[in-house]
Amino acid sequence: METKDKILAYKIYFILGAIFIASLVVSNLIFQKFFYWNFLGIYRFEISVGIIPYPITFLITDIISEVYGKKKANQVVTAGIFASFFSLFIIYIADQVPAIESSPVNNAVFNQVFGQTSLAVLASMLAYLFAQYIDIQIFHFWKKVTKGKMLWLRNNFSTFTSQFMDTFSVLFLLCSFKILSWDIFYSLLISGFLFKILIAALDTPLLYLFVYFFRKRFNLKQGEEINLD
76-105 pLDDT, tens digit per residue, is: 988 988 888 888 888 889 888 999 989 998
Q: What is the separation, in whole angstroms, between the first and last Cα of the chain?
A: 12
pLDDT digits (tens, 9 = 90+) for 21-75: 999 888 878 877 888 888 777 778 777 788 788 778 878 988 998 899 888 988 9
- Reported as a single tens digit per residue, the pLDDT across 16-28 is 999 999 998 888 7
Contact indicator for 129, 81 with CB cutoff of 8 Å: yes
The DSSP H or E segment spanning 141 is: helix 117-145
> Quick one: average pLDDT of 121-135?
70
- 57 SS3 class: helix
CA 3 remoteness from chain centre: 31
Q: Which fold has domain 3-217?
A: Arp2/3 complex 21 kDa subunit ARPC3 (1.10.1760)
